Amino acid sequence: MITITKNEEVVLDQIKIYIIEYPEGVPLNVLRKDLGFHEYDLVQILEELQGKGLAIFKDNKVILSESEKEVNTVNSKKDLEELELNQKEKDSYKLIQQLVDDKNLISKYTLEGHLLYGDLEISNFRMYHIILSLQNKGLLKPITKDDGEYYLLVE
């Protein structure tokens, strides 16, 4: 599922309307005049849609991509970032479940290493935010043992 903002949805809907009239690609000027967006903002939105695989923006013309993807709409970019962070939390939790030993423990440094340098490639700030969020939700608990610092996965 692809998540887009309300503005991206408005632009995408206009493209769907105009593509019948402009099968070779809807000109940027037509969209700009109809939607009333500043050209810079419209180009940013079209590039976002292209990055998400929903449209192809080239030579100041835009066409729809031929894939049938399920689209979810959120109100703003902030909501979109929050949704993505929640997805990173879920992915991190799944990773932790795979990494814990038979006592549901994982070394603090092992966990941080996997989050930073593993498949998720989470930034340093986001990693600590995710770990703190999981602790606040009662899913992860910091434990200090004689041989180092660990996290206990609470299930």
Residue at a domain's end among 40, 73, 106: 73
141 and 85 housed in the same domain: yes
Residue at a domain's end among 49, 73, 97: 73
Give residue 140's domain range.
Answer: 76-153
Q: Tell me the pLDDT of the chain (155 aa) as tens digits.
A: 777 888 888 999 999 999 999 999 999 999 999 888 899 999 999 998 998 889 999 999 999 887 777 776 766 666 766 666 577 888 888 888 899 999 989 999 999 999 888 888 788 888 888 898 888 878 889 999 899 999 998 86
86 and 56 housed in the same domain: no
119 and 83 housed in the same domain: yes
126 and 143 housed in the same domain: yes
Residue at a domain's end among 73, 96, 127: 73
101 and 61 housed in the same domain: no
DSSP-H helix ranges across 71-142: 77-99, 108-117, 124-136
67 and 83 housed in the same domain: no
The structural domain count of the chain equals 2
Distance (Å) of CA 132 to CA 87, 126, 140: 15, 10, 8
Supply the pTM of this predicted model. 0.53
